[in-house]
Each structure stands twice: as C-alpha cells, then as structure tokens.
C-alpha cells in the first residue's frame, strides 16, 4: 500500500471520527421508529443531509480554499462573518454543546443512578469541560482516540446483533412523508454545518503531510470523504433500521435518549446498556471540550483579541450548563427554527461550491442565497408559530413547500436572474474599455 493511500485512509478515519459524535446516535433510531415499514425512504432522506451533505461540505470548502470565508465570502464579507458566527453558535453554546450535557444526563446518569438533580450533573459536566478547555492537554486527545473506537465497537455490536436477531418487524406507522422527514431530521446532526469548519482541519492535515498540490488535495479529500461517508452509512443506517424494527414495540413518542437506551438494553442486556451509557457519556465530554475550544478560538480571532479566549469559553460553558438542563427533546425543538433558516443556505453554498469552476459570474451565489433565505426565513418564523402574513401564504403556495423544500424554486430563479447581472469585475472591465475607446 502506498504512503498516499495510507494517508488518505487515515484522514478518512479521522473525518469519520469528527462526524461520529455520540450525541448524534439518538437521531437515527428515532427516525426509524417513526418511519416503521417506510424506513428505507426515511433513510434515503437522512443519508442526503446527515451523511452526503457533510462529506460534500468538506469537499466544497476544500475546493474553495479551506475556510468558511473562502466559500461564503463569494456572497460577501459581511454575509460570511454573519453566517460563520451563526454556524459556530449553532454547533456551540446554542445547540450542540448543551445537547452533549443533556445526553450525558439522559443516557449516562439517569438510567444508571436514577433520579439525580440535572442541574448538579450539568454543573459538574461543564466544569470538567472548562478545566480541559482552559488548560489544554494532550490527554484529552488521547482519550478521544481511545473512546471513538470503543464507541464504534459497542455500536456495531448492537447493530449486528439487532440485525441478526431483530427486536421485531417494522410496522405501518402512518408517516405521511418519510423521505422529507428523514431529510429534515438530518439537519439535527448539524454535521453539514460542522463540515464547513472541519474542512480547514483536513486541509491543514494534508499540508502537514506534504501534499501541497491543490488537485491532489481535492482528490484525497474526496476519497477520504467517501471513506467517512461509508462508515457513517453503516452506523446511521443500522441504527435507523433498529429503530424501525422496534416500531411495533415502543411508543412512537418515546424520547430519543430513552429509545436508544431501551434498544441497547433489549439487544445486549443490562451490561451492554451500562457499557453504552459510560462510553457515550465520555465521548460526549470529548465532543463538548472540542466544540468549546472551537467557539473560543473563532470569536477571539473574529474580535481580533478584544474578546479573550478565556472569557469566551467561560461564557460558553456557563450558558451551555443552563441550556442543558432543559433536556434533549426541548433542545431539539429549540433547534428547529435556526436549522430551518440556515440549512438551505448551507446546502446552496455547498452545491455551488462544488460546481464553482462552471460559475463565471459570482452574482449567482448572491441570487441563490437570497432566494433560499427569503423562504427559509418564513419557514423559521412558522416553526416558531409566528405568522408571517402575506409572505407565509406565498411560501405555502410554492412547489414542494409541503415537503419542506419550498426554497428550491426561488433559489434557482434568483440564481439564474442574478447570473445576468454583470459582476463588479465585468463592470470594471467594460468601463475601462469605454474609457480607452
């Protein structure tokens, strides 16, 4: 095996580990439970947003230059800063970090120790997070490298046994739009948003290994992405199927954390459940530490040092500790409006980034993002039960709006129209020609 192939496999494995967050394990079984015998369509939708988009996001940002500014900056510098801040807040203190704390309580503490004050657990959990974030240590990286394989082995054991000896047969649940449900629920992994940040890590890793040619970097990133995607498909697909096989056993409204605990207990017994609880809790802690550090570094850099790293991470863990107490289900509900607003924009940027070499007029980016935002903003208001009046009525009449894809047609139309507006570079060239004439 060549050195290049080995490096590609290693980067693919690392990328898989970055996406394979313990907190995300709660979503596929819940989708399968709701889908029942329609689990295949839900899986297809989930694959697109929970697996495909994150992988494509890494590739698109790598092609653009390696940072969110390189990709979103094609719309404008202010937009890039705003979008970057929203994404960092989403994968940080607003949603992802508190969710790790809530997951630890609901999967790791409550099933093993019974009723414990969630606020006390949250304070202890985020105090540990703060300790490692303020005093970075190589030990946490080593723990993460050990935990990910253990979590992977435990999860694959559950899936393998659950497939060979199913809990039951998928039943008809009456789900209306299984594909759309899987697609939009894939937003909750937030991996597509995270991929925009992770792309820079992949690029730095390639450069450190001596791969400086851009074509070579992109080629290796694509292959590494496919490796990561294959791993995620095995895990997420297996867990979603297990959820479907339990659709005739567990209540459709069973909380997500409780569902995966019950599935683990049913498949592996109480000892398996204990193992899963411990490993998921520890893995969530490493995720929390990593994300908190990302938030601290991002806003310290953005503010050019006016906000200190230490102050930012203290604020992040404090806010997250309070948020975590509301529980996983409530955090998931709170996430919906923000993800409905941001995800269509992220999807558009990723798609356009992949085909950037064919886009000569960068105004297409501005038009496409405007079209997506016009509809996704209305959808976000609707998700918050806020009536957007005429705009809401208009949005509901758009093609595919019933499935949650009302933003597609306005995006395409405004992208095409924007393509006919001369770019600044083209306008300057035309003006220079006239002046010379």
Distance CA 296, CA 318 (A): 13
Give the CA count within 13 Å in the CB-facing half-sphere of 389: 1
Around Cβ 357, how many Cβ atoms within 10 Å?
7
Residue 434: pLDDT band with limits 50, 70, 90 = very low
pTM of the model: 0.87
Confidence (pLDDT) at 142? 64
Cβ atoms 52, 34 nearer than 8 A: no
What b/e readout covers 370-395, taking b as 16+ CB neighbours within 10 angstroms?
Answer: bbbbbbbbbbbbbbeeeeeeeeeebb
Report the share of the chain in percent with pLDDT over 90.
Answer: 52
Kind and range of the H or E run holding 338? helix 328-354
Instruction: For residue range 125-175, list pLDDT tens digits in order.
Output: 999 999 988 876 666 566 667 777 888 888 899 999 999 999 999 999 999
Whether the CB-CB separation of 26 and 103 falls below 8 Å is answered with yes
Other Cβ atoms less than 10 A from the Cβ of 308: the count is 13
Rounded Cα distance, 267 and 60, in Å = 39
CATH value of 3-334 in 3.40.50.1110, 3.40.50.720, 1.10.3720.10, 1.10.4160.10: 1.10.4160.10
Q: Given this model, what pLDDT does residue 235 score?
A: 92
Q: Residue 22 pLDDT more than 80?
A: no
Task: Give the C-alpha separation, 437 to 435, whole Å.
Answer: 5
Own/partner contacts of 173-177, CB < 8 Å, gap of 24 or more, are 173/33, 173/34, 173/35, 173/36, 173/37, 173/38, 173/247, 173/252, 175/34, 175/35, 175/36, 175/38, 175/42, 177/402, 177/403
| Tokens encoding 245 | 């096989």
For the chain, residues classed under CATH 1.10.4160.10 are 3-334
pLDDT attached to residue 139? 61
User: In sequence order, what are the residues at sequence separation of 6 or more whose Cβ sits closer than 8 angstroms to the Cβ of residue 107?
Assistant: 26, 257, 260, 261, 276, 277, 280, 281
How many Å apart are CA 285 and CA 193, to the nearest integer? 20
CA distance linking residue 285 with residue 101, whole number of Å: 8
CB 293 within 8 A of CB 313: yes
pLDDT digits (tens, 9 = 90+) for 37-69: 999 999 999 999 999 999 999 999 988 888 888
Name which of 224, 185, 233, 182 is nearest 202 in CA terms: 224
Residue 264 CB neighbours (<10 A) = 28
Distance CA 177, CA 63 (A): 34
Tokens read off for 347:
């999807």
CA dihedral over 275, 281, 284, 286, signed as positive or negative: negative
Q: What is the pLDDT of residue 141?
A: 64
Over residues 228-252, the pLDDT tens digits come to 999 999 999 999 999 999 999 999 8
Dump pLDDT digits (tens) for 346-372.
999 999 999 998 898 989 999 999 999
pLDDT tens digits, residue range 387-432?
Answer: 888 888 888 899 988 888 999 999 999 999 999 988 766 555 544 5
C-alpha to C-alpha distance for 67 and 297, rounded to whole angstroms: 14
């Amino acid at each position: 095996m060549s050195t290049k192939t080995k490096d590609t496999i290693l980067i693919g494995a690392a990328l898989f580990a970055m996406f394979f967050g313990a907190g995300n394990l709660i979503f596929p079984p819940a989708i399968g439970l709701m889908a029942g015998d329609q689990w295949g369509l839900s899986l297809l939708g989930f694959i697109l947003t929970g697996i495909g988009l994150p992988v494509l996001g890494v590739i698109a940002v790598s092609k653009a230059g390696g940072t969110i500014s390189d990709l979103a900056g094609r719309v404008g510098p202010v937009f890039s800063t705003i979008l970057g801040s929203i994404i960092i807040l989403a994968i940080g203190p607003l949603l992802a970090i508190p969710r790790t704390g809530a997951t630890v309580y609901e999967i790791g503490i409550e099933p093993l120790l019974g009723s414990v004050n969630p606020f006390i657990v949250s304070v202890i959990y985020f105090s540990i997070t703060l300790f490692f974030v303020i005093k970075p240590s190589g030990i946490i990286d080593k723990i993460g490298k050990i935990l990910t394989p253990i979590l992977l082995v435990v999860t694959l054991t559950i899936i393998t046994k659950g497939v060979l000896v199913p809990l039951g047969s998928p039943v008809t649940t009456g789900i209306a739009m299984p594909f759309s449900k899987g697609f939009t629920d894939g937003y909750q992994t937030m991996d597509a948003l995270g991929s925009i940040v992770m792309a820079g890590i992949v690029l730095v890793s390639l450069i450190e290994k001596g791969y400086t040619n851009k074509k070579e970097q992109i080629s290796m990133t694509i292959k590494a992405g496919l490796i990561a995607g294959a791993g995620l498909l095995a895990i997420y697909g297996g867990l979603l199927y297990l959820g479907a096989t339990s659709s005739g056993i567990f209540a459709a409204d069973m909380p997500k954390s409780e569902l995966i605990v019950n599935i683990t207990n049913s498949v592996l017994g109480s000892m398996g459940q204990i193992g899963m609880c411990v490993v998921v809790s520890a893995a969530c802690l490493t995720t929390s530490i990593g994300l908190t550090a990302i938030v601290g570094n991002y806003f310290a850099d953005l503010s050019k040092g006016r906000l200190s790293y230490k102050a930012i991470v203290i604020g992040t863990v404090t806010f997250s500790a309070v948020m975590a107490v509301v529980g996983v289900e409530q955090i998931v509900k709170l996430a919906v409006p923000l993800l409905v607003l941001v995800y269509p924009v992220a999807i558009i940027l990723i798609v356009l980034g992949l085909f950037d070499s064919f886009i000569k007029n960068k105004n297409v980016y501005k038009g496409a993002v405007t079209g997506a935002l016009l509809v996704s903003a209305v959808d976000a208001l609707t998700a918050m039960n806020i009536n957007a009046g005429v705009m809401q009525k208009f949005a509901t009449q758009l093609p595919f709006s019933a499935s949650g894809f009302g933003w597609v047609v306005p995006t395409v139309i405004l992208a095409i129209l924007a393509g006919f507006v001369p770019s600044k570079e083209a306008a300057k060239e035309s003006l220079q020609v006239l002046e010379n004439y």
